[in-house]
Amino acid sequence: MTTMVVMEMMVVMVVLVVMVMVVLAVMVMEMTDGGVGGDGGEDGDESDGGVGDCDCGVEDGDDGACCDGFGGVKGDGNGGDGGDGYGSWVCSDGGDNYDGVGGGAGGACGGGACAFSGGGDGDGDDDGGVRNGGGDGGLDYVGYGWVVVVNVIEVMEVVIVVMVVTMVLLEIIVMLVVVIVVVMMVMVIVLVMVVVIVGLLMVVMMVMVMVVLEAVVVVLVEKVLVVVVLVVVMFSGYFLAAKL
């Protein structure tokens, strides 16, 4: 039973360690900005700004400046969409629009804990167009840091399940051993009782046989003695008569 208690305490300690690891992983996760989306073009036809490119932010840990969206060559439409964050990178804001059309949409979030990126400003500029609202914020994706945390948690869950199953199996084995020992003890007691009872019966039977044999022998001896006495008396009387 002491072993079972120790193993249960170990399981509790493992759960506490997992919780501490999760908290530390959330605290130290990097959250670098992926950059602001570029502005739309100032004149020309109504084409939208380009979409931000965030590939450079993955390897060199840049601040996301090259992840801006770019306006069209002669666009006076939306500002460029913000660059998408990767891994633990935060999504970027959409670019400001120039000619009355809404700002570009924010980039997609790469970091699991990052906030939604803001859309671009809706300020009109050269041609006095109607001022519309900014673009939509980016989507919130699960970043690399969270993937590592989730993987660690899953591994620890498997370890905890294995430990619990092992504890249950050990308890079952201990119970089976106890049952087997008790059964063997009962069998030994029964065998001892059977041996004792059989021995007592044999002693009683031997005593009865001895008593019976003794009685038979006594009776036979008495009969033989009577016959011998009669024979002696007969022969004595015969010799006595012959002498007279």
Residue 109's alpha-carbon distances to 17, 47, 115, in angstroms, are: 29, 25, 8
Q: Reply yes or no on whether the pLDDT at 173 is more than 80.
A: yes
Which pLDDT value is given to residue 73?
A: 33
Residue 66: pLDDT band by 50, 70, 90 thresholds?
Answer: very low
Q: Reply yes or no on whether the pLDDT at 22 is more than 80.
A: no
Residue 123 makes CB contacts below 8 A (sequence gap 6+) with 96, 97, 98, 131
Whole-number Å distance between alpha carbons of 166 and 164: 5
CA angle 54, 68, 57 (to 5 degrees): 30
Q: What is the mean pLDDT of the chain?
A: 61
Count H helices and E strands in the chain, helices first: 3, 0
Which pLDDT value is given to residue 31?
A: 43
Q: Reply yes or no on whether the pLDDT at 212 is more than 70.
A: yes
With a pLDDT cut of 70, the percent of the chain lying above it is 34
Residue 4: pLDDT band by 50, 70, 90 thresholds?
Answer: low
Which pLDDT value is given to residue 213?
A: 87
Residue 58: pLDDT band by 50, 70, 90 thresholds?
Answer: very low
Work out the angle between the directed axes of helices 144-243 and 2-28 (0-180°, nearest 10): 170
Q: Reply yes or no on whether the pLDDT at 91 is more than 60.
A: no
pTM of the complete model: 0.34
Whole-number Å distance between alpha carbons of 213 and 228: 22
Which pLDDT value is given to residue 188?
A: 93
Which pLDDT value is given to residue 193?
A: 93
Which pLDDT value is given to residue 190?
A: 93
Q: Reply yes or no on whether the pLDDT at 180 is more than 90.
A: yes
Residues 33-52 pLDDT 10s: 444 444 444 443 344 444 44
Residues 111-152 pLDDT 10s: 433 334 444 444 444 333 333 344 444 433 444 455 556 666
Residue 244: pLDDT band by 50, 70, 90 thresholds?
Answer: low
Residue 93 makes CB contacts below 8 A (sequence gap 6+) with 36, 37, 82, 106, 107, 117, 118, 119, 120
Which pLDDT value is given to residue 195?
A: 92
SS (H, E, C) 112-161: CCCCCCCCCCCCCCCCCCCCCCCCCCCCECCCHHHHHHHHHHHHHHHHHH
Residue 81: pLDDT band by 50, 70, 90 thresholds?
Answer: low
Q: Among 3, 52, 50, 57, which Cα is nearest to 30's? A: 57
